């Protein structure tokens, strides 16, 4: 076998893919690929597909959970596209398409009312819940898809109730407007998580390309489905239920596959409780697997962050109690069944994490059925007659555990330079404890 005596002038690489060498052979420079498999991005069918539908620099330019999330997101988008076709066909039938007695004016009024109520719903939902969509992106993403299926189910049933048709489609329009806000906002939040090279725009654009391809495939299949389901409500409903089940399952798997490395209240609470039980710090993967993805409408002792001073203390005496054993730039109290946290303007991200840890400990200690316990199964904060005594005990507990806890979570791979904790905008400067 003849030995290659060519001189290597340089090597180059495209991301983690192909590697090439520049050689000098017979006085000329040649470019030769290392190995025999693959091809340059864009020079083969697979390469073209990656170039069109995946972000530049994939997989280094995105988070580790990107591919799994996008797979399930594609499945849910495909099933949603087919369900949407069935709902649209039912809506058109309901407004009179194909009915010679129906008037254009009546159909137009119904459509305008549906769109108008949807616009109002969009504005109101963004006003009431817009700040929650970052901190609980997974919950609201799943909520949006469930609500979307409910809206489409209402549209399919609406033609069977002609007297209430306008009311039903307007209600469905409100639901879909909420879906648009919640789905779009949480998609943006997940894009921030996936972008590892400040490439949010590229990831968002490629995500749009993937969704367009899926919708095109759904459109082609819909051309076959529509003649089959026309004038066959039982088949329409059966197919809709089938696509809905697939849609909800794919959405659940999609949000479960997301591994956020930043703390929200749920993830921080999960990691803190594990640390208090046995001293172990959960990794982002472990904590995300335990994080609830369904909205919880009842909390025994909810936590309110960044509140006004009057929600924490109502008198100078209570301010002195809030400052007892407290040299941190935040105040805590238990008022009206809530743990309230008032934040100072000089508070750092570490202070914010500590404040939420302390609030979570207080909330758990006040739980009537599952109080906060340590490795010895003894309560870490004893229940007392005065909530202020429990607040004081919580300061002492944080003084003991917080610094090693913070070092541990950073070593485990959590980001502590920023958080997704749901702080309101109130910031208060208070005078020191009076003598």
Amino acid 298: pLDDT: 66
pLDDT single digits (tens) 210-242? 999 999 999 999 988 888 888 788 888 899 999
User: Is residue 344 within 8 Å of residue 321, measured between CB atoms?
Assistant: no
For residues 138 and 260, what is the distance between their CA atoms, to the nearest angstrom?
10
Statement: residue 407 has pLDDT above 90: yes
pLDDT for the residue numbered 38: 44
Q: Is the distance from CB of 424 to CB of 306 less than 8 angstroms? A: yes
Q: Spell out the residues 6+ positions from residue 71 whose beta carbon is closer than 8 angstroms to its own.
A: none
Highest mean pLDDT: which of 16-30, 82-96, 244-258?
Answer: 244-258
By the 8 A CB rule, do 107 and 96 touch?
yes
347 backbone dihedrals φ, ψ, rounded to 5°:
-65, 135
Q: Please give the pLDDT value at position 408.
A: 97
Strand order in the sheet with 28-33: 7-13, 19-25, 28-33
Please report the pLDDT score of residue 127 as a whole number: 92
How many Cα atoms are found within 13 Å in the side-chain-facing hemisphere of 28? Answer: 4
Joined tokens for residue 38: 């693959």
Residue 361: φ, ψ to 5°: -65, -45
The separation between CA 73 and the C-alpha centre of its own chain, rounded to angstroms, equals: 13
> Across all residues in the chain, what is the average pLDDT?
87
Provide the 8-state DSSP code for 311: G
CA-to-CA distance for 310 and 98, rounded, in angstroms? Answer: 62
**Residue 53 · residue 206 · CB < 8 Å:** yes
- Tokens describing residue 171: 């209600």
> Would you state the structure tokens that stand for residue 362, as one six-digit string?
């207080």
Task: Quote the percentage of the chain above a pLDDT of 90.
Answer: 60
Q: Which pLDDT score is estimated for 109?
A: 78
Q: Closest by alpha carbon to 357, among 397, 310, 386? A: 397
- Write down the pLDDT at residue 422: 92
Q: What is the pLDDT of residues 338-352, one digit of tens each?
A: 999 999 999 999 999
**Long-range contacts of 1-9, Cβ-Cβ distance < 8 Å, separation of 24 or more:** 6/30
Q: Kindly list the strands in the beta sheet with 338-343, ordered across the sheet, starting from the edge strand earlier in the chain.
A: 303-305, 338-343, 330-335
How high is the pLDDT of residue 284?
97
Domain positions in the chain are 7-40, 66-257, 265-411
State residue 435's pLDDT score. 40
What average pLDDT does range 415-430 have in this prediction? 94
Q: What's the CA gap between 378 and 172, in Å, rounded?
A: 51
The pLDDT tens digits for 65-95 are 999 999 999 999 999 999 988 888 877 666 5
Q: How much is the pLDDT for 303?
A: 93
- Range 51-75 average pLDDT: 93
Per-residue pLDDT, 126: 93
Distance CA 163, CA 165 (A): 6
Tell me yes or no: is domain 66-257 CATH 1.20.1250: yes
At 158 the pLDDT is: 86
Q: What is the pLDDT of residues 315-334, one digit of tens each?
A: 999 999 999 889 999 999 99
Provide the percentage of residues in the chain whose pLDDT is more than 70.
88
Give the pLDDT band of residue 243 (cuts 50, 70, 90): very high
Q: Is the peptide bond before 304 cis (omega within 30 degrees of 0)?
A: no
Query: What is the tens place of the pLDDT at every residue in 108-118?
Result: 777 788 888 99
Q: Is the dihedral of CA 162, 164, 166, 170 positive or negative?
A: negative
Position 39 pLDDT exceeds 70: no
pLDDT of residue 19: 82
| More confident: 40 or 44 | 44
Nearest alpha-carbon partner for 424 in 361, 342, 359, 350: 342
Paired strand residues for 13: 19
pLDDT at 41: 47
pLDDT of amino acid 376: 61
Handedness of CA 74, 79, 83, 89 (dihedral sign): positive
Q: How many angstroms separate the CA atoms of 76 and 254, rounded?
A: 9
């Amino acid at each position: 076998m003849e030995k290659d005596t060519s001189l290597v002038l340089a090597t180059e690489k495209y991301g983690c893919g192909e590697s090439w060498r520049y050689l000098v052979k017979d006085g000329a420079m040649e470019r030769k690929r290392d190995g025999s498999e693959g091809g340059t991005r864009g020079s083969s069918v697979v390469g073209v597909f990656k170039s069109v539908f995946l972000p530049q620099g994939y997989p280094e330019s995105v988070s580790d959970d990107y591919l799994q999330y996008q797979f399930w997101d594609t499945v849910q988008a495909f099933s949603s596209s087919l369900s949407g076709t069935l709902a649209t066909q039912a809506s058109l039938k309901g407004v009179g398409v194909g009915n010679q007695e129906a008037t254009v004016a009546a159909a137009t009024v119904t459509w305008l009312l549906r769109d108008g109520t949807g616009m109002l719903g969009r504005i109101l939902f963004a006003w009431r819940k817009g700040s929650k969509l970052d901190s609980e992106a997974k919950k609201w993403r799943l909520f949006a898809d469930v609500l979307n299926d409910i809206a489409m189910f209402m549209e399919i049933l609406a033609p069977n109730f002609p007297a209430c048709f306008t009311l039903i489609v307007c209600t469905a329009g409100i639901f879909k407007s909420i879906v648009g806000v919640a789905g779009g906002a949480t998609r943006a939040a997940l894009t921030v998580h996936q972008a590892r090279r400040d490439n949010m725009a590229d990831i968002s654009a490629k995500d749009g390309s993937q969704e367009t391809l899926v919708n095109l495939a759904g459109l082609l299949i819909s051309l076959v489905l529509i003649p089959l389901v026309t004038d066959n409500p039982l088949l329409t409903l059966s197919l809709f239920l089938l696509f809905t089940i697939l849609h909800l399952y794919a959405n659940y798997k999609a949000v479960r596959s997301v591994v956020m490395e930043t703390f929200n209240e749920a993830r921080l609470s999960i990691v803190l409780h594990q640390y208090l039980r046995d001293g172990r710090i959960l990794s982002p993967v472990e904590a995300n697997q335990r994080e609830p993805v369904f909205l919880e409408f009842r909390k025994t002792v909810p936590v309110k962050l960044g509140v006004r001073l009057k929600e924490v203390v109502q008198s100078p005496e209570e301010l002195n109690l809030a400052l007892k054993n407290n040299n941190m730039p935040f105040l805590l109290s238990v008022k009206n069944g809530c743990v309230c946290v008032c934040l100072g303007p000089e508070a750092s991200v570490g202070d914010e994490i500590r404040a939420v840890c302390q609030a979570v400990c207080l909330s758990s200690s006040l739980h009537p059925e599952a109080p906060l316990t340590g490795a010895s199964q003894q309560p870490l904060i004893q229940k007392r007659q005065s909530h202020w005594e429990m607040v004081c005990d919580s300061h002492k507990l944080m003084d003991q555990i917080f610094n090693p806890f913070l070092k541990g979570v950073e070593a485990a791979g959590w980001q502590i330079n920023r958080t997704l904790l749901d702080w309101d905008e109130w910031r208060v400067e208070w005078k020191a404890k009076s003598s």
